[in-house]
Amino acid sequence: MGKDERYDFVVVGGGPNGIALSAYLGKCGASVCVLEERPEAGGACENTEPIPGVRITPHAMYMYAGAAPGFDGLLRAAWRERGFGDFWGYALVAEGAAEAMLEAGLKPWDIAAPMLVIEEAGGKVTDFAGVRSIHAETFLATNGILHRDVLDRLRSAG
């Protein structure tokens, strides 16, 4: 990026959130510059390999470890569920194309941008306990109308 170049937005980080945010801003007509220190985009979205040859998804383990015992029931009650992941799912909630998006195993930098976008669009964001916090490891974003119902279903074991 030269010192005379100008952009509407500069996104720091080429991980899933940064790339999805940049694509969404570009879709809205903005000029975007993505800054990433690694030679490739993608960030830390890889799976974990705790034992050589055994790969797990940290998000899936967190769901079944007790944070959301009603997760399976919520999926069964949904008309359709998709695994969009990261920022794209939150963009869909913000624009009204999806009703809810949830994730686990997050850091504050994973939550910051989606929280702002969802709330500015009129939605609601909390952790799985119903607390609004950027420091939670779980994150639920909804259109606001379904928020209480989704929380209740996540908490129920049946």
Q: List the CATH number of the domain containing 132.
A: 3.40.190.80
32 with 75, same domain? no
Write down the pLDDT at residue 148.
94
Distance, in Å, from the CA atom of 128 to the CA atom of 126, rounded to the nearest integer, reads 7
Judge whether 150 and 100 are in contact, CB under 8 Å.
yes
35 and 70 together in one domain: no
Residues 143 and 86 in one domain: yes
pLDDT for the residue 151? 92
Q: Are residues 38 and 108 in the same domain?
A: no
Q: Same domain for 25 and 72?
A: no
Both 71 and 144 in a single domain?
yes
Q: What is the DSSP string of 99-143?
A: SEEEEES--HHHHHHHHHHHHHTT-EEE-TTS---TT-SEEEEE-
Q: Are residues 23 and 74 in the same domain?
A: no
Say yes or no: 26 and 100 in one domain: no
Q: What is the reported pTM?
A: 0.55
| Overall domain count for the chain | 2
Q: Scan for tokens 């694509």, then name that residue.
A: 23
Please give the pLDDT value at position 28: 84
Looking at the fold, whether 60 and 130 belong to one and the same domain comes out as yes
Is 72 found in the same domain as 28? no
Instruction: Identify the pLDDT of residue 121.
Output: 94
Model pLDDT, residue 130? 95
Residue 12's domain spans which residues? 1-44
Do 139 and 61 belong together in one domain?
A: yes
Q: What is the pLDDT of residue 59?
A: 45
Q: What is the pLDDT along the chain (158 residues), one digit of tens a residue?
A: 567 788 888 888 777 777 777 877 888 888 888 887 766 666 555 445 555 665 544 444 344 445 566 666 776 776 655 555 567 788 888 988 888 888 887 888 888 888 999 999 999 999 999 999 999 888 999 999 999 999 998 888 65
